[in-house]
A and B are shown apart, each in its own frame.
Chain A
Amino acid sequence: MTFAIEAEGLVKHFGETRALNGVDLTARTGSVLGVLGPNGAGKTTSVRVLATLIQPDEGQARVGGYDVVKDAHRVRQLIGLTGQYAGVDEMLTGTENLVLIGRLLGLRRAQARSRAAELLERFELTDARDRAAKTYSGGMRRRLDLAASLVGRPQILFLDEPTTGLDPRSRGGLWDIVRGLTDDGVTVLLTTQYLEEADQLADDIVVIDHGRVIARGTPDQLKTQAGGQMLEVRPVTAADHVTVARIVGELTGAQPEVRDGLVSAPLSDPAVMPAVVRRLDEAGVTVGELSLRKSSLDEVFFALTGHHAEEQQEAEDAQAESVKAGV
């Protein structure tokens, strides 16, 4: 098995902040590796190291078999990068943006133009090709950005939160595009804070928190790893949720979570189910909803980190912003 991306023990400091604290990851050639984690976890920093934009303080990484520090120029000939902030020149038209990249990659003017036209067509931007990118919608910008990263026909593509801030429809469209890319044998490293996105697109997932990898595996492996199944109970009378939580807690041995009147807890032994039903009946609680299902990736994340993806994200937004701005 060959790896298009291999990173070992990456460490990167920004002043006092330890953005990467020993990140190891590998992506199989032709697969999609999902790098999952909240904002400020170190996803973007990892991508920036792998895409040769910054050098790690410690550790090493190879992309397409080349060292990202010693052979950066060769790595750059193999990769495409779509950053968190769409890296398109807003003052240029769609065509000009793509021609610019083509020319920088050494294409002749005519070649650059035809490659641009081809990509604009593919990403449904042909109608907007002669408009300045600043007039584009968020989804169009991301598509143009993705097109720009494909001008050089990269073997390895880095997508740093490609759908952050997009509406659900545009997000779905982008997912289709990513799926199409892997059909061509491109290796994709995709960072996301959306668990659903990693679930949908990734062959393998690494979960990053506080600059280190805290879990890795296929989406199914991760779901099984963290408790396997979830028991959910919704009492008809909302006030009963305290009683329900107590009973569920006693029987599952886990601290149940109550959200909007729904009591949920991870369950390792399905045989507990009948006991739960019996105890609830004895307690006189009428159950409106009772289910047993595979954990979602969000619950996996909760089980792994002790906090929900979104909560930490909000808390660290401010910090991440200030690091980015270099203030």
Chain B
Amino acid sequence: MTTATTAATRPVPLSLDGRVSPGTTVRNVLTLAWRNLVQIKHNPMELIDLSIQPIMFVLLFAYVFGPAIGGTVQDYLPIVIPGIIAQNALFATMTTGFGLNVDVTKGVFDRLRSLPISRIAPLSGRMLADTVKQVWSMAVLLVIGFAIGFRVETGPLHLLAALALLLAFTALFAWASVYIGLAVSEPEKVQIFGFTIIFPITFLSSAFVPISPRAPEVLQFVMRNNPMTHLVEAVRGLLVGDQGGGPVAEHAAISLGWGVLMAAIFIPLSMRAFKRRI
């Protein structure tokens, strides 16, 4: 043990800052986003999670379901690629709750909150990092889709609009994940919860197959009004044009409305869970 430089050898400034400045807040958020991204370097599994899994989904759906559902793989790609992009985005929101739960259970959250940093930075930094991961996954899906024949039929602005819609929706939807992350006792439960909720939501929609008129009427009703259906139809319309799903703007607005509703429910719930947990 060297005794060279130790704590409190430096005179402490007499006037301490009373609050965090906006500039510091931005810096704190960026630093904590960096922290959540640099982790990937040491945990290649996460990269596999972010890349291999979506690729596998695309290939399985396109080549196994595509020909079976009717038509060719090429006919199915405009249907399934937007569907998988939306589904993947929804699943990816669970990383927010998972990471938050790990931080809280491991004591990292306490350490961060004991520092003179912006109070919103720990969560905002994580959400920013998760947004970057979302963009990465969407890019991977578009590239693999392109490789097997999927084409954006509209234009770059429409593509950007689709990505913006997905990011906005997932940012709102992520509050459910935050709540789950704070409410359950261990990280694994976040995944179980997420899977059991998101899996049916994504499949009870028009993400992978059109809503069949031969399905039970109740099911048709649920599928038609599932926010996921609205999200997928909007993204699909923005990427490949009208596929008979209805007006894009309306679907986009309804899906965002659902997102706002989710956030309105889960932000207060999260705040309450946070106070109870911490």
Contacts and interface: CB of A to CB of B under 8 A. Distances in A.
Interface string A120-132: 0111100000001
Given A92-B38, A155-B8, A53 B113 contact: yes
Interface string A168-194: 000000001100110111100000000
A84 interface: yes
Contact of B106 (A74, A85, A325): A85
A180 B1 contact: yes
Given A100-B35, A186-B8, A86 B1 contact: no
Given A85-B107, A100-B31, A104-B117, A327 B6 contact: no
Contacts of B39: 89, 91-92
Contacts of B105: 85
Contacts of B5: 118, 122
A186 B12 CA distance: 12
A101 interface: yes
Contacts of B214: none
Contact of B20 (A73, A149, A154, A327): A73
Contacts of A90: 106
A128 to B, nearest CB: 13
Interface residues of B, number: 47
Interface string A64-83: 00100001011011111101
B10 A86 contact: no
* Residue among A87, A122, A124 with max Cβ neighbours from chain B (10 Å): A87
A103 to B, nearest CB: 5
Contacts of A132: 42-43
Given A84-B107, A106-B24, A73 B18 contact: yes
Contact of A154 (B7, B18, B121, B278): B7
A54 interface: yes
B218 to A, nearest CB: 36
Given A53-B278, A103-B31, A77 B110 contact: no
Contacts of B32: 104
A71 B19 CA distance: 9
Interface in B127-170: none
Contacts of A105: 115-117
Contacts of A325: 185
Contact of B111 (A52, A87, A157, A183): A87
Chain A interface size, under 10 / 10 to 19 / 20 to 34 / 35 or more: 35 or more
Contacts of A184: 6-9
A88 interface: yes
B108 A122 contact: no
Nearest to A79: B114
Interface in B86-112: 105-112
A66 B277 CA distance: 26
Nearest to A154: B7
A88 B115 contact: no
B110 A176 contact: no
B215 interface: no
A92 B276 CA distance: 28
Given A87-B111, A92-B42, A176-B1, A185 B8 contact: yes
B196 interface: no
A123 B1 CA distance: 6
B114 A51 contact: yes
B233 to A, nearest CB: 38
A93 B35 CA distance: 11
A148 B111 contact: yes
A104 B110 contact: no
A183 B110 CA distance: 27
The 10 A-B residue pairs with the shortest CB-CB distance, nearest first, are A87-B111, A87-B107, A85-B107, A91-B39, A76-B116, A81-B114, A184-B6, A74-B16, A325-B185, A132-B42
